[in-house]
Amino acid sequence: MTGRVRGRTGADDVDLRRPSARVVRRVVRDPQAWVGGVVLLLVVVWALVGPWLRPWDTTYADVTAFGVPPSPEHWFGTNDIGQDLYQQVLVGLRKSLMIGLVAGPLATLVAAVVGAVAGLVGGWVDRLLLAGVDLMLVIPSLFLLILLSPVLTRGGWPTLAVGIALLSWMVVARVVRAQTRTLRERGFVRAARFSGASTWRVVRRHVWPNLASLLVIDATVAVGAAVLAEATLSYFGLGVQVPDVSLGTLLASGSPSVATRPWLFVFPAAVLVVTVTAVSLLGSALRDGLDPGGPDA
Amino acid sequence: MPDPLLDVRDLHVRFGAHRSGEVHAVRGVDLRMAPGEVLGLVGGSGAGKSALVSAVLGLLPHGGTMTGSVRFEGTELVGLGDRAFSALRGPGLAVVFQDSLSVLDPVQRVGAQVVEVLRLHDRALSRAAARSRTDELFALVGLPSGVVQAFAHEVSGGMRQRVGIALAIACSPRLLIADEPTSALDVTVQAQVLDVLDRARQASGAGLLLVTHDLGVVAGWTDRVAVMHAGRVVEQAGVTELFEAPREPRTVTLLRAAPDPRTPRHGRRPDPGEPVLEVTDLRVTHRLDAGPRRRRGQVVAVDGVSLTVRRGEVLALVGESGAGKTSVVEQVFALSPPREGGVRVLGHDLTSADRATRRRLRGQAQLVVQDTTDALDPRMSVGSAVAEPLAVARVPRRERRARVVGALEAVGLGPGLVGAYPHELSGGERRRVAIARALVVRPTLLALDEPVAGLDVSVAAGLLGLLADLRDDLGLTCLVVTHDLAAVRRLADRVAVMVGGRVVEEASTDALFDSPAHPYTRALLAAVPVPDPRAPRPVALVTGERLWTAARAEGCCLADRCPLLAERDDERERRCREVEPGLVSRADRTVACHWWDLGPSR
């Protein structure tokens, strides 16, 4: 190659731009990203400002309306003890979102650390970490959560988020490890090692940036998964405990009366589906945008 | 002139109706080839050689268009339909690519793929007949018969190229196109493969279009040469005429940049000082794992190597791929205690050095790793890449910028590049940044692994000039690993030749080039292409390639491949096979060969 590549026009010009700029451009042009992003934004904004749109308080029980269907008074209806379901759903949504936003990225972080260190160091460290990953994979996480439930519920929702995160990082850790092992043979990683860089430095400066696409996608996908995991656990009575409310506990308490008072189940379920779908669409758009072989928008 | 085999007139190739505009890769090329002629097509990267070849083969990538005229034996190829073109490829046109690995199907035995091609073009051919024809073809290209049953990944690079040639000549094409067929190979293997190509061409009477950037190859193997630059053929002439009386300035530039291993060094070099690096009897083995717990055995990469590099001196480590050159430098510059043997860097024994000593040594001994286009992190700017060793050495942040700019200046790059990313750099610039990265800590000892491999001749010449300047200006002590003997001649004070994990000869550069003592050194030098059509054509005195050997070989590591094999009597033969020759020093030369030991050979 002669001369400067920069500014040169060529058939491969598109790929010569900064990867991040290309990714942003492609994600922005993806309708999935728009739909997912806008819906998620609306959900979050609604979760924050929604309570002020209605006069009812979360804890207030309307003694004049026990279990009434949706009406102009109570948009989502009320439950058996006269609580306004609209407010209940909002509280539950906030809790679910917080758990998801903490647990998802946390799971990815654990996966990124364990996978990168195992792949980069190799040897017995690799074998030990892999054995740990496999052990965690073998034990059904739901079973473990049931066992740990007394501990998890005592600490409130943050412990629950941590618990969910600690049980959902293993598969991604294996992927990160595999990718790191190929990176380990790349010239720049070897160059860094020969200039004396520590393992941790190589992980932070070389491995993570080069796996950014994978990690960002996984963090997004994990948010949706964590919200669902929380709902599942709470549905079985193992997650968020009364008097706390999450989408999962609402679904649990609403499900017995789905035939007689469907609104108690339908509204929390709809909000859950909309939220998780929006997050998934955003994750899918990110994955398409970051995949160099993907469609170039 | 008889009817031309290939007649290209005013050919234009354009790529991409992109937003960013189209690329005009070939701009009006006229080219004629007579039947049976060998035409060399040379030029730097981006000159349009590959685009021209793809156009002639009808294999332009999506988005590429060609206009003008390409006539092959009178048939117009521009605008020819896909089906008609396919019928022409094989019996008419055939191609040998740079690496046949990508051409060969990894899940099919290589023999079966040749059989498939034969039967595809001649439906009447029986399976048995196709098989015996395949055996003939493999014999013609010098492949042992067992290779028919091998998979592509099981054979060496040189053998793969031979399979590629067998595949190309399977249907007796009238025009054989070889696109950089030997660029990825060692010189000794290169000479063999090019000879095979020539033999195959003569056997089938085909014309050969040899695309290469190596003027030595052109001088040795072609009749006529076309020089390409910026999409045009700037000069076409007979090979002797072109080398002796080039008319175009572009040709002159190209010829001047061509490395010539015969040119002796200019200028006197300062006398070397105390030893900076001492390697004694180093052995490096790599484990072969077949899984996390199953061990398949081990490969002896370095088998008892001793080297000394003195202050201010440049030692070159040369040899074929797999000789263990890279393993030596990587073991040394990891600065970790060697498992077997001893390494002393600046007087510190690595076996007993503590962490603090190692950290100190890290700032003194730097390695520029082999550049496989990814020696720089694609996600890191040039500035932070060069600054990384400073961060490791805990140089205060505010001093770093000045040091980075200084290091970039030392390698001839402006401070404007600090914010650039690797993909914005050319191959030569990337190489310079990698060197700047090593220089930024101001090392005493610098090792360079294949510093000019894969670069255009002119870029490589520039880089060699830079390295020579750095050597002189900074008084660097260097260990250069390379298989490029022209680079060695230009840079090194002393040369150590490695074969099979051992050093077989060590001498001063001029002594080694002028009177090589070890048979392998002689073979290596004889195989180097020289950019002079009057010079004898490079020959491969050593045949075969070293493959990874699992066990330590008895006797001389060259015993099976030695050019002197034919001349040895039984007694000497036995000795070569069973007794490992020790290193013997005489004058300023050290050689490991029973023959040299027994007295100078004629």
Tell me, yes or no, if A198 comes closer than 8 A to chain B by beta carbon. Answer: yes
Distance from CA of B390 to the nearest CA of A (A): 9
Q: Name the nearest CA neighbour of B326 among B296, B367, B362, B365.
A: B367
Helices (H), B427-481: 427-439, 457-474
How does DSSP classify residue B17?
A: -
Angstrom CA distances, B530 to A85, B255, B262, B454, stand at 87, 11, 8, 18
Across the interface, whether the CB atoms of A196 and B20 are under 8 A apart is answered no
At B421, which amino acid appears?
Y
pLDDT in tens, B365-387: 999 988 756 788 888 888 889 99
pLDDT in tens, B393-403: 888 888 888 99
**How many Cβ pairs within 8 Å bridge chains A and B?**
112
Residue range B104-129: average pLDDT?
89
Confidence tier at A37 by pLDDT (50, 70, 90) = confident
Tell me, yes or no, if A194 comes closer than 8 A to chain B by beta carbon. Answer: yes
Place of tokens 């010239």: A187
Distance from CA of B9 to the nearest CA of A (A): 24
Say which residue, B526 or A65, is predicted with more confidence. B526
The verdict on ipTM greater than 0.85 is no
Q: Is the pLDDT of residue A291 over 70?
A: no
pLDDT in tens, B474-497: 888 999 998 888 888 888 999 999
Burial of B321 (0-12, 13-18, 19+ CB in 10 A): middle
pLDDT in tens, B277-328: 999 999 988 776 655 555 666 778 888 899 999 988 999 999 887 788 888 9
For position A3, what pLDDT does the model report?
A: 37
How does DSSP classify residue B301?
A: E
Cβ contacts of A113-116, under 8 Å, gap ≥ 24: A113/A203, A114/A169, A114/A173, A114/A176, A114/A177, A115/A172, A115/A173, A115/A174, A115/A175, A115/A176, A115/A177, A115/A179, A115/A180, A116/A176, A116/A177, A116/A180, A116/A203, A116/A207, A116/A208, A116/A211
Give the separation between CA B286 and CA B297, rounded to whole angstroms.
9
Give the separation between CA A7 and CA A71, rounded to whole angstroms.
63
Give the separation between CA A12 and CA B2, rounded to whole angstroms.
41
Distance from CA of B137 to the nearest CA of A (A): 37
- Chain A residues touching B371 at Cβ < 8 A: 187
- Chain A residues touching B44 at Cβ < 8 A: 2
Rg (CA), chain A: 23
Residue range A227-241: average pLDDT?
79
Buried b (16+ CB within 10 A) or exposed e, A164-197: bbbbbbbebbbebbebbeebbebbbbbbbbbbbb
Confidence tier at A294 by pLDDT (50, 70, 90) = very low
Residue range A41-46: average pLDDT?
86
Nearest to A187 among B45, B371, B438 (CB): B371
pLDDT in tens, A3-29: 333 333 333 333 333 456 666 777 777
Residue A62 sits at φ, ψ, to 5 deg, of: -85, 100
Average pLDDT over chain A reads 78
Cα-based angle B252, B44, B456 (whole degrees, multiple of 5): 100
pLDDT in tens, B45-69: 778 888 899 899 888 877 788 889 9
pLDDT-above-70 percentage for chain A: 84
Angstrom CA distances, B508 to B152, B268, B478, B496, B530, stand at 40, 13, 15, 9, 21
Q: Would you call B304 helix, strand, or coil by DSSP? A: strand
For position A13, what pLDDT does the model report?
A: 32
Query: Where does residue B230 fall: left (phi above 0), alpha (psi -120 to 50 degrees), or beta otherwise?
Result: left
Whether the Cβ atoms of residue A30 and residue A288 lie closer than 8 Å to each other: yes
- Chain B residues touching A197 at Cβ < 8 A: 388, 392
Say which residue, A62 or A27, is predicted with more confidence. A27
B452-461, B510-519, B541-550, range with the lowest pLDDT: B541-550
Residue A9: closest CA among chain B residues belongs to which residue?
A: B20
Identify the top-confidence range among A148-152, A158-162, A248-252: A158-162
Whether the Cβ atoms of residue B235 and residue B246 lie closer than 8 Å to each other: yes
Q: Checking DSSP bridges between strand B502-508 and strand B494-499, what pairing results, if any?
A: antiparallel
Whether the Cβ atoms of residue B111 and residue B145 lie closer than 8 Å to each other: no
Tell me, yes or no, if A187 comes closer than 8 A to chain B by beta carbon. Answer: yes
Across the interface, whether the CB atoms of A13 and B20 are under 8 A apart is answered yes
Q: Is the pLDDT of residue B188 over 50?
A: yes
Sign of CA dihedral B67, B70, B76, B80: negative
Whether the Cβ atoms of residue A257 and residue A265 lie closer than 8 Å to each other: yes
Tell me, yes or no, if B291 comes closer than 8 A to chain A by beta carbon. Answer: no
pLDDT in tens, B194-218: 988 888 888 888 899 999 888 889 9
Tell me, yes or no, if A209 comes closer than 8 A to chain B by beta carbon. Answer: yes
Confidence tier at B20 by pLDDT (50, 70, 90) = low
Please, which residues 237-276 of chain A have a Cβ atom closer than 8 Å to chain B?
Answer: none
Across the interface, whether the CB atoms of B428 and A1 are under 8 A apart is answered yes
Cis peptide before A243 (omega within 30 of 0): yes
Residue B428: closest CA among chain A residues belongs to which residue?
A: A1
Distance from CA of B480 to the nearest CA of A (A): 16
Distance from CA of B585 to the nearest CA of A (A): 34
Tell me, yes or no, if A11 comes closer than 8 A to chain B by beta carbon. Answer: yes
Rg (CA), chain B: 26
For position B238, what pLDDT does the model report?
A: 92
- Chain A residues touching B393 at Cβ < 8 A: 196
- Chain B residues touching A188 at Cβ < 8 A: 374-378, 380, 385
- Chain B residues touching A4 at Cβ < 8 A: 424, 426
